[in-house]
Amino acid sequence: MANTNINSIAFDYGEEEQKLFNDDQKRHWKSIEGYYVKLKNRCLSEVTILESCSHKEWIQQRVGLHVTTSLMRLLYLAESFVQATKSFNAVASAAHVKAMAEVPLHLGYLVWILAEHKDFQGIRGELSKIAFGNRDQKTGLTSSGKISQKTLYSRSDEMMREFFKDQPSSINVLETLYKETNVTGHHNYEGRNLLCGVQNDSIWKAKDRKEWFVFISNNIFQFFLHCDTAIGMSYLFLDAIDHYLNQLPDYLPDKREPKEKFIETRDLFKRLSNEMCNVVETYYIWRTLVFARSIPESGEENAKRNAEIMNLNKYFFTQVERSLMQEFIIGLMKFFDKNPKALSISGLIKKIQDNKDIITADVLLEVYPDRFNYKEIEGNYTPITDEDIEHIETLQQKHKSIVEKLKQIRDKQIAHTDIEIIKGTFIPNEVEALIKTVQEMFNKLSNTFDRSTTLWDHLEEETVRDTKFLLENLQRGESQRITEIKEKWG
């Protein structure tokens, strides 16, 4: 747009040519030229799009992008429209006003989004609908919009009625503009295109280009009126957009349904529970493999036999033990992550606190209609208590040094590649204490949130049993292999 100027939009017909048009047409010329300059000054040369910012900034940036690209599209079309009309090109003029009419619909819809949605998620969701269209799976290109033109002009007219309550209109301006320009443009798709000529009885005749353009623009197709309306309505909606953007607070509330927020939080509990399952299983598989070579734990004979069978598959067991150790240590460390956005105990607490006021006993009963008696929880339910938070903070602080020590153990053990008998007693009591602590924190929160508790003891028993069974089967298989060799080769 920087290279354009008023000359590109001027209806500078010759003196004799101007006489061909009526006064209404000339008034539209002046109006279009005036709005063009105003809209051109509203186009931004650059728009920064950030994710990490306040709600107000996030919305202003994206609305600014929508506005600028819409205006540039409109002004490019307006320039081309003027050139088409000055060359008396009715076909191109009709195509241009048809395309131009869509822009004020888009801007009007932006006004509706800002006027009717008071929560960030609602505004974000609506903006996403107009940010991208539906893509064709074969070409990857946009093939249609996510919002119909009917919805766009209906919302825009809804805003117009709101603006002019004291001056009600008998017509829907944007709907009329869209439908009339659409009809005009569609004449280009007819075999007896009225924009090029006219048919009388059985004969169609091409008309003189200049003469016919003047006639139909004065009497049939309101090219200049439609262009003027598209640009003028766009400018009107810009003022409304500015008004609503300026009224935005830095942060808007999230007005999603309390039940939805409850279920979102419950899903975080489930994800953390799954993480805990993984920690318990990987730890006790690792522990069983390590203890299988411990003389104090397994006895000298069993420890020696287990070490021998594992050394026969040295590179496999080395990597398995290393991977298991990393997995359960990293998994445990996640629970103590202080980042409120992380999947951690702190993140779960923040999620519950953010929705504490809307997650009530009524919501709990709605989600679990058969689990509770209303009289038991009425006036006696809150999704989280200060006592819960204090208790968990105490446990986190108590085990802070253990988490750091586990990281050091992990780094040290990575360099270990030999599988040997463990002569001393190696009981990672701190790890098991930490696992129990995480379970305690988790159940402390879940018991208050929805009166549920989770046990992982069965995972310990099953993983230990299965791992021991694996080693025993390997020993049996090795004994059978040796027996078969002796029978075959003596």
**Which of these ranges, 113-122, 182-191, 350-359, has the smallest mean pLDDT?**
182-191
252: in domain: no
> Does residue 225 sit in the same domain as residue 264?
no
> Does residue 290 sit in the same domain as residue 331?
yes
| More confident site: 372 or 322 | 322
1: in domain: no
Q: Render pLDDT for 22-72 as a digit per residue (tens, 0 to 9).
A: 999 999 999 999 999 999 999 988 999 988 889 999 999 999 999 999 999
Q: Average of pLDDT values for 301-309?
A: 88
354: in domain: yes
* CA pseudo-torsion sign 300, 303, 309, 312: negative
> Does residue 156 sit in the same domain as residue 281?
no
Q: In angstroms, how far apart are the furthest CA atoms of the chain?
A: 120
pLDDT averaged over every residue in the chain: 87
For residue 194, give its domain range: 6-247
> Does residue 45 sit in the same domain as residue 91?
yes
> Does residue 101 sit in the same domain as residue 151?
yes
d(CA 160, CA 168) in angstroms, rounded, equals 9
Residue 151 · residue 104 · CB < 8 Å: no
The pLDDT of residue 311 is above 50: yes
> How many residues would you count in the chain?
490
> Does residue 50 sit in the same domain as residue 104?
yes
Number of domains composing the chain: 2
> Does residue 230 sit in the same domain as residue 267?
no
Q: Average of pLDDT values for 197-207?
A: 88
**Tokens 């003196």 -> residue:** 15
Q: How far apart are the first and last CA of the chain?
A: 93
Return the DSSP state at 208: P
> Does residue 147 sit in the same domain as residue 292?
no
Residue 234 · residue 74 · CB < 8 Å: yes
The pLDDT of residue 335 is above 50: yes
Q: Among residues 183, 215, 247, which one ends one of the domains?
A: 247
> Does residue 88 sit in the same domain as residue 184?
yes
Which pTM was predicted? 0.57
Backbone dihedral region of 29: left (phi > 0), alpha (psi from -120 to 50 degrees) or beta? Answer: alpha
Residue 340 · residue 352 · CB < 8 Å: no
HSE of 194, CA atoms in CB hemisphere, 13 A:
13
Q: Among residues 247, 269, 286, which one ends one of the domains?
A: 247
> Does residue 369 sit in the same domain as residue 329?
yes
> Does residue 132 sit in the same domain as residue 194?
yes
